[in-house]
């Protein structure tokens, strides 16, 4: 059993919590005692945060739509196909033909990389996230 | 937030507007209630009688969309009773005369009547707020999700500056950010008009700085906002989209238009941890690692940048979003190679002044750092605007009442507001996968006043039809005095009752924020045929 200190993924409060790891699976959570926000307290969503991590419905393989149905594919296929499609739209319509949505659920580093990717590789400023919703 | 969350606990007066804090920001509510226990006064401005409103000393149940007249009336009282902070106004602000003239022309009785709140209550609230030594204003989407959202926020800033309630510890203006990292996503420049650290993309100097650092030429014109992208339709300018961890098919207004737009695209790729309503429309779906399976940082509502640490390996073939972005970028002719998220953060620190001292080795120690943190030796900033505002002087922006985009009429006689509840979160992608949370609440409910329920002949829990000009859904009625007569309220967590099929696509011209807090609807009893 191992405890990993991390930051809650639900609301903007940003509680510090420990994830309990047993046999390679997250099996529970507990608030950090001295964290300035959580101060030994979590809301009901924080206490049950592990349930969605291990859920059987998690996507585990890339999917490509074939004959109208999302079908398992390899990473190479999915990445190559996506790059080809986005590349051809960029080349035909310019960057203004592409839209990119970043995520308030992803890390700072990922959001930074995504907007950099949008502005350089895809040549577009059409990048936004759910800040207004 | 200009303050830290813990500062709220030390305020003498807390004014909360448009925030269902106990359900949406439990830790912030905990500080508010601790302050009340200690003797602080709590003023809640909300059309609904929320749990927090029940604990408040004053509850100003305004008519939805009348925030500006209400706050203007409060400011007029401050002026009339000599409660304005003249020294602060003189030393720290500009354009005060324009505000004073507008307030002096105000007919106080008529303004109060517009809001539906008794003038004596408004006066008491103004006196409490004006006389306090330390006062905070906390607000949330109930203020911003209106056609006049920007003006609503400016009016809150006017009130705080007029009373001089900014620049000090335990005193300030605190917008409560909804998502765990919505603050960070904005800071990182995931915005159509901003490069990282709010360096405007239209500014040549900023653009040049990033062009040199990134070795690529950057587009000049600001891009489209989220709703402009998802409301394009087949004729829209967008032909292809890449969506990382968002679910506009439940979260955006007027879902019919969103679906038409996404289905009309030449190409859609989605990266997510579950097959969301949006991913179901994609041509390619990437399985992403969740927060417990990668490392990096989140920035909370009080601007605290904190570490996210990997606890377990990603399941199956899942990969972190950063790996997916780098793999795509390389294939599109712009290789990006970072070994770790710490390396990405070093680049962020170099290019983003407010993150200038944020490095993972520093964030690893203690409880993170609050921006602005200008360099490696800077201790971070618990509260903002101490000696000066970012723009220099605080500028008063007088505003007057703007009616909502759609109001009830004989055909659609009720006013619908939408929001969140305690046990579910946003589009439910994660919370609905939790058995225990779903046990608490697993279906959408429509809060309706007992009077309205009586007129319609509804029983508690009865399934009703809810219609607007844009769509209809069915959901269970919850008869409660939390909503006033003529109003109904529900949440947007449930795909079985996608309330955003009904919401209006009127939005704030300044921020492009949709008006989720007001639209006209009708409730119908379902009669067995």
Q: B334 and A121 in contact by Cβ < 8 A?
A: yes
Which among A36, A57, A108 has the least Cβ separation from residue B181?
A: A108
The residue written with tokens 């950010």 in the block is: B177
What are the backbone angles phi and psi of residue B520, rounded to the nearest 5°?
Answer: -95, 130
Task: Show the domains of chain A with their CATH numbers.
Answer: 2-53 (2.20.25.90), 63-132 (no CATH)
Which among B24, B267, B279 has the least Cβ separation from residue A89?
A: B267
Q: Which two tokens stand for residue B277?
A: 């309503």
Q: A105 and B433 in contact by Cβ < 8 A?
A: no
Q: Name B345's Cβ contacts closer than 8 Å, sequence gap at least 6.
A: A108, A109, B296, B297, B355, B358, B359, B360, B363
pLDDT tens-digit profile of B370-384? 999 999 999 999 999
Which residues of chain B, if any, have pLDDT below 50?
A: none
Which among A93, A106, A113 has the least Cβ separation from residue B245?
A: A106
Cα–Cα nearest to B74, from B138, B130, B131, B137: B130
Q: What is the distance between the alpha carbons of residues B420 and B494, in angstroms, rounded to a whole number? A: 11
Which residues of chain A are within 8 Å of residue B4 when distances are taken between CB atoms? 36
Q: What is the distance between the alpha carbons of residues B414 and B418, in angstroms, rounded to a whole number? A: 13
Residues 452-491 of B with CB under 8 A from A: none
**Beta-strand relationship, B394-395 and B369-370:** unpaired
Which among A24, A100, A125 has the least Cβ separation from residue B222?
A: A125
The answer to whether the beta carbons of residues A29 and A17 sit under 8 Å apart is: yes
Cα–Cα nearest to B4, from B382, B385, B389, B384: B382
CB atoms within 10 A of CB B338: 16
Q: Which CATH class is domain B414-525?
A: mainly beta
Instruction: State the pLDDT at residue A132.
Output: 77
Kindly state the average pLDDT of the residues A105-117: 97
Q: What is the distance between the alpha carbons of residues A62 and A79, in angstroms, rounded to a whole number? A: 9
Distance from CA of A3 to the nearest CA of B (A): 8
Domain range B5-176, CATH architecture: 3-Layer(aba) Sandwich (3.40)
The residues that bridge with A64 in the sheet, in sequence order, are A71, B284
Q: Which CATH class is domain B182-337?
A: alpha beta
The answer to whether the beta carbons of residues B27 and A13 sit under 8 Å apart is: yes
Q: Which residues of B293-331 are buried (b: 16+ CB within 10 A; e: fewer)?
A: bbbbbbbbbbbbbbbbbbbbebbeebbbbbbbbbbbbeb
Task: Please name the residue ranges forming H helices in B134-253.
Answer: 141-144, 149-162, 182-187, 204-214, 226-230, 248-251
Q: What is the distance between the alpha carbons of residues B381 and B370, in angstroms, rounded to a whole number? A: 5
Instruction: State the pLDDT at residue B390.
Output: 85
Q: B238 and A126 in contact by Cβ < 8 A?
A: yes
Instruction: State the pLDDT at residue B529.
Output: 63
Q: B196 and A53 in contact by Cβ < 8 A?
A: no
Whole-structure pTM value: 0.94
Element at B322 (helix H, strand E): helix B321-331
Q: Name A43's Cβ contacts closer than 8 Å, sequence gap at least 6.
A: A10, A11, A15, B26, B27, B422
Nearest CA in chain A to B348: A112
What are the backbone angles phi and psi of residue B385, rounded to the nearest 5°?
Answer: 60, 40
Instruction: State the pLDDT at residue B528.
Output: 73
CA-CA-CA-CA torsion sign (A31, A37, A42, A44): negative
Q: Which two tokens stand for residue A73?
A: 């594919």
Q: What is the distance between the alpha carbons of residues B292 and A16, in angstroms, rounded to a whole number? A: 13
Residues 194-233 of B with CB under 8 A from A: 195-196, 201, 210, 214, 216, 218-219, 221-227, 229
Instruction: State the pLDDT at residue B509.
Output: 83
Cα–Cα nearest to A64, from A49, A83, A46, A45: A83
Report domain extents, chain B: 5-176, 182-337, 414-525
Specify the length of chain B in residues: 529
């Amino acid at each position: 059993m191992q405890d990993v200190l991390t930051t809650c993924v639900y609301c903007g409060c940003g509680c510090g919590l420990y994830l309990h790891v047993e046999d390679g699976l997250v099996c529970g959570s507990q608030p950090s005692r001295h964290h300035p926000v959580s101060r030994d307290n979590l809301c009901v969503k924080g206490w049950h945060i592990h349930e969605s991590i291990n859920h059987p419905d998690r996507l585990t393989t890339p999917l490509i739509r074939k004959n109208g149905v999302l079908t398992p594919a390899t990473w190479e296929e999915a990445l190559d196909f996506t790059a080809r499609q986005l590349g051809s739209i960029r080349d035909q319509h310019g960057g203004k033909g592409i839209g990119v949505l970043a995520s308030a659920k992803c890390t700072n580093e990922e959001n930074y990389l995504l907007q950099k990717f949008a502005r350089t590789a895809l040549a577009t400023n059409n990048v936004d996230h759910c800040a207004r919703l | 937030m200009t303050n830290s969350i813990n500062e709220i606990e030390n305020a003498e007066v807390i004014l909360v507007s448009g925030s269902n804090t106990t359900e949406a920001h439990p830790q912030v509510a905990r500080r508010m209630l601790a302050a009340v226990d200690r003797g602080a006064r709590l003023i809640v401005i909300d059309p609904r009688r929320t749990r927090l409103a029940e604990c408040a000393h004053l509850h100003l149940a305004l008519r939805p969309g009348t925030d500006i007249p209400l706050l203007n009336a409060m400011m007029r009282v401050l002026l009339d009773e000599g409660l304005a902070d003249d020294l602060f106004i003189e030393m720290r602000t500009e354009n005060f005369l324009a505000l004073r003239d507008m307030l002096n022309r105000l007919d106080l009785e008529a303004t109060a009547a517009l809001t539906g709140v008794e003038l004596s209550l408004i006066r008491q609230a103004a006196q409490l707020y004006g006389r306090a030594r330390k006062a905070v204003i906390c607000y949330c989407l109930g203020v911003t999700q209106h056609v006049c959202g920007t003006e609503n926020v400016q009016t809150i800033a006017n009130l705080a500056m007029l009373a001089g309630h900014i620049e000090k510890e335990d005193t300030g203006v605190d917008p409560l950010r909804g998502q765990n990292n919505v603050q960070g996503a904005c800071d990182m420049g995931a915005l159509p008009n901003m490069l990282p650290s709010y360096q405007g993309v239209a500014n040549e100097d900023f653009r040049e700085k990033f062009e040199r650092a990134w070795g690529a030429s950057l587009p000049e014109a600001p891009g489209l906002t989220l709703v402009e992208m998802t409301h394009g339709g087949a004729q829209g300018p967008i032909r292809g989209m890449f969506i990382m961890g968002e679910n506009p098919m439940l979260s955006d207004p007027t879902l019919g238009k969103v679906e038409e737009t996404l289905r009309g695209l030449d190409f859609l790729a989605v990266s997510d941890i579950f097959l969301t309503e949006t991913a179901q429309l994609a041509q390619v779906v990437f399985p992403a690692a969740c927060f417990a399976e990668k490392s990096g940082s989140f920035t909370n509502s009080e601007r605290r940048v904190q570490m996210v640490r990997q606890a377990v390996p990603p399941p199956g073939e899942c990969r972190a979003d950063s790996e997916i972005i780098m793999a795509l970028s390389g294939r599109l002719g712009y290789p990006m190679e970072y070994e770790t998220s710490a390396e990405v953060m070093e680049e962020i620190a170099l290019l983003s002044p407010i993150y200038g001292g944020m490095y993972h080795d520093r964030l690893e120690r203690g409880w993170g750092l609050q921006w602005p943190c200008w360099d490696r030796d800077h201790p971070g900033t618990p509260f903002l605007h101490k000696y000066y505002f970012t723009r220099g002087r605080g500028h008063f922006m007088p505003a007057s009442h703007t009616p909502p985009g759609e109001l009830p009429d004989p055909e659609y006689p009720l006013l619908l507001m939408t929001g969140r509840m305690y046990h579910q979160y946003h589009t439910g992608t994660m919370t609905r996968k939790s058995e225990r949370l779903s046990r608490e609440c697993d279906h959408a409910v429509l809060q309706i006043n007992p009077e309205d329920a009586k007129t319609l002949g509804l029983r508690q829990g009865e399934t009703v039809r809810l219609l607007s000009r844009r769509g209809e859904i069915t959901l269970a009625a919850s008869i409660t005095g939390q909503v006033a007569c003529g109003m109904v309220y529900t949440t947007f967590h449930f795909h079985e009752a996608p309330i955003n099929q009904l919401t209006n696509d009127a939005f704030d011209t300044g921020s492009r924020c949709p008006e989720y807090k007001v639209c006209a609807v009708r409730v119908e009893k379902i009669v067995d045929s």
